[in-house]
Amino acid sequence: METDTQHRLRLTMRPSLVLPTLLLALALAAPASAQQMPPAKRQIAAALDAKFAAYTNVANQIWGFAEVGYQETKSSALLQSTLRNAGFAVRAGVAGIPTSFVADFVSGRGGPVIGILAEFDALPGLSQHVAAERSPIAGQSAGHACGHHLFGTASVAAAIAVKDWLQSSGRAGTIRVYGTPAEDGGGGKIYMVRAGLFRDADVVLDWHAGSANNASPGPSLANKSGKFRFRGVSAHAAGAPWRGRSALDAVEAMNHMVDMMREHVPDGTRMHYVITDGGKAPNVVPDFAEAYYYARHQDARVVNELWERIVKAAEGAALGTGTTMEQEVVNGVYALLPNETLARVVDANLRAVGGVTYNEEERAFAEKLRATLGTDAPPVTQASTVLPFQVRTVATGGSTDVGDVSWVVPNGRFYAATWVPGTSSHSWQAVAAGGMSIGHKGMLVAAKTLALTAHDLFTDAATVQRAKAEFDQKRGANFVYRPLIGERAPPLDYRGTAAP
């Protein structure tokens, strides 16, 4: 039976938006706490419901663009135009990054300043149709296996909803969107932090695509990555191998030494690598080869120490093979500095919004996808719940350049179930679910949670002050932010392979 709310939506919305919005309203059972929201928060949530079809279209376009880090020209332009058309002032190409932007809407005296992060880069090698089996898209190499098409769109949607509320209520404040490229390995936010773009922000919010709804705070892993390039002497591998000095031998020697290091590194260390160039033909001694390395640990100081040891291994490999070596630090990120004060506000709003309930078609798709995830995958119904709130002290394994942001401004973040429960990020299953209504519904949960949290921060100065006090206590009085990437320029070509 149609509810009063659904009836009003059907009468007031354009015909092109009726079906998707009604499907959403029927599929998402609003929790009791949502009905108890104050009128302003109900207004914000309703505004996002009304534009669900439009934002789904934005997310689908970015999913189709599938642009990798620092190459997100169309994706960034689409988000910028969406914000500009909604009345935001947009500064593009900040911090020396062509696809970055900062978008502001200022109401009244302009304070406080609440920022929302937006990501939009895809991952190479993970092209995928919306299908429950591995099915790459012909002619496309990348895919949104980390859900950043949903991330960027939800953040923009939330900011616009908050802007409309600020405008209609006459409340003072600045809502800001940070368009942050190349999160996956390129560290776009680091350069924006280094450029001082977060200096005047009071709080920054963000979320991430995931397989569960969860606002529990906890650290991530600090991470440093870079490319090691070896140059040798080419020769005929059969006719005159004694004249050659193999750059590939140097890469393999380095890899072997690093593998032996694994027994002698601090607990919690993660080190991994790929060979991005190992030569072109077996009968030619390679005069150029390259390896791409990551080192991770919860403590950024340990990461720097690990990196120095990896560099020594590279130097030893070059010495032993008669080659030369040069390194390029591509990325370096801090671990997340969690803020429990903000996490509890986010958690309350996530619970008020509730999770995602699949319709019959989505549930059938989810069950097929779940069968590819392994026997330990949770039931698909987990997407409809919010996981218990827990304060974690141990990192769960990943790294993000949000970590650097969290050391210069209080940060509140959460995960929304945009994928089938049990799905790993950086997988084809994530691409598939993120390109259909399962991902879109989770995106709406995220947009509402962000917007409602921003509302609370604009209306409760005491919470903002408590978050700042916790932030200052955890950083320590003598903390000085120093980026792990040093003074290097943004690595705009890091997804390519350097030529010899």
Span 58-75, pLDDT tens digits: 999 999 999 999 999 999
Assigned domain for 488 exists: no
For 172, which DSSP code? -
- Cα separation, 403 vs 345, whole angstroms: 20
Contact criterion met (CB below 8 Å) for 233 and 287: yes
Give the pLDDT score at 13. 33
Assigned domain for 95 exists: yes
Domain of 294: which CATH number? 3.30.70.360
The verdict on 398 and 415 lying in the same domain is yes
- pLDDT grade, residue 20 (50/70/90)? very low
Above pLDDT 70, what percent of the chain? 92
The token duo for 465 is: 């002050």
In sequence order, what DSSP letters do the residues of 440-477 get, joined into one string?
Answer: HHHHHHHHHHHHHHHHHHHH-HHHHHHHHHHHHHHH-T
The verdict on 115 and 183 lying in the same domain is yes
- pLDDT grade, residue 497 (50/70/90)? very low
Contact criterion met (CB below 8 Å) for 241 and 285: yes
Cα-based angle 82, 87, 91 (whole degrees, multiple of 5) = 75
For 282, which DSSP code? T
Look up tokens 């059938």; give the residue: 364
> What kind and span of H or E run contains 389?
none
Assigned domain for 485 exists: no
Model-level pTM? 0.88
Domain of 205: which CATH number? 3.40.630.10
Assigned domain for 6 exists: no
Residue 377 CB neighbours (<10 A): 17
Three-state SS at 387:
coil
Checking if the pLDDT of 109 tops 80, the result is yes
Domain count, the chain: 2
Three-state SS at 343:
helix
> pLDDT digits over 165-203, tens only?
999 999 999 999 999 999 998 999 999 999 999 999 999
The token duo for 182 is: 């190349």
Above pLDDT 90, what percent of the chain? 88
Checking if the pLDDT of 228 tops 80, the result is yes
The verdict on 366 and 294 lying in the same domain is no
Closest residue by Cα to residue 118 from 156, 146, 84:
156
- Cα separation, 39 vs 42, whole angstroms: 5
The verdict on 43 and 159 lying in the same domain is yes
- As beta bridge partners, residue 177 has 103, 116
Residue 326 CB neighbours (<10 A): 13
Residue 263 CB neighbours (<10 A): 6
- Cα separation, 436 vs 418, whole angstroms: 10
Give the pLDDT score at 21. 41
The verdict on 61 and 175 lying in the same domain is yes
Q: What is the average pLDDT value for the chain, to the nearest integer?
A: 92
Give the pLDDT score at 30. 53
Q: Which of 282, 313, 333 finishes a domain? A: 333
- Cα separation, 463 vs 306, whole angstroms: 39
Q: Which of 333, 352, 377 finishes a domain? A: 333
Q: Which of 333, 359, 382 finishes a domain? A: 333
Look up tokens 């998402």; give the residue: 28
The token duo for 323 is: 């080659």
The token duo for 434 is: 């993120």
In sequence order, what DSSP letters do the residues of 87-117 get, joined into one string?
Answer: T-EEEESGGG-TT-EEEEEEETT--SEEEEE
The verdict on 136 and 241 lying in the same domain is no
The verdict on 161 and 272 lying in the same domain is no
Assigned domain for 429 exists: yes
Residue type (1 letter), 429: Q
Contact criterion met (CB below 8 Å) for 208 and 419: no
Residue 170 CB neighbours (<10 A): 8
The verdict on 196 and 231 lying in the same domain is no
Assigned domain for 296 exists: yes
Assigned domain for 480 exists: no
- As beta bridge partners, residue 226 has 293, 329
Give the pLDDT score at 110. 83
Residue 259 CB neighbours (<10 A): 12
> pLDDT digits over 351-405, tens only?
999 999 999 999 999 999 999 998 889 999 999 999 999 999 988 778 999 999 9
The token duo for 490 is: 């943004």
Q: Measured in Å, how far apart are the chain's first and last C-alpha atoms?
A: 68
Look up tokens 């062509």; give the residue: 98
Look up tokens 């996956």; give the residue: 184
Assigned domain for 354 exists: yes
The verdict on 313 and 401 lying in the same domain is no
The verdict on 322 and 343 lying in the same domain is no
- Cα separation, 64 vs 61, whole angstroms: 5
Checking if the pLDDT of 207 tops 50, the result is yes
> pLDDT digits over 426-461, tens only?
999 999 999 999 999 999 999 999 999 999 999 999
The verdict on 183 and 229 lying in the same domain is no
- Cα separation, 151 vs 62, whole angstroms: 11
Look up tokens 């997100």; give the residue: 72
Taking residues 14-43, what's their average pLDDT? 57
Domain that holds residue 248: 222-333
- Cα separation, 255 vs 275, whole angstroms: 9
Look up tokens 């079809």; give the residue: 53
Three-state SS at 248:
helix
Give the pLDDT score at 31. 59
- As beta bridge partners, residue 294 has 225, 272
Cα Rg of the chain, angstroms: 24
The verdict on 174 and 68 lying in the same domain is yes
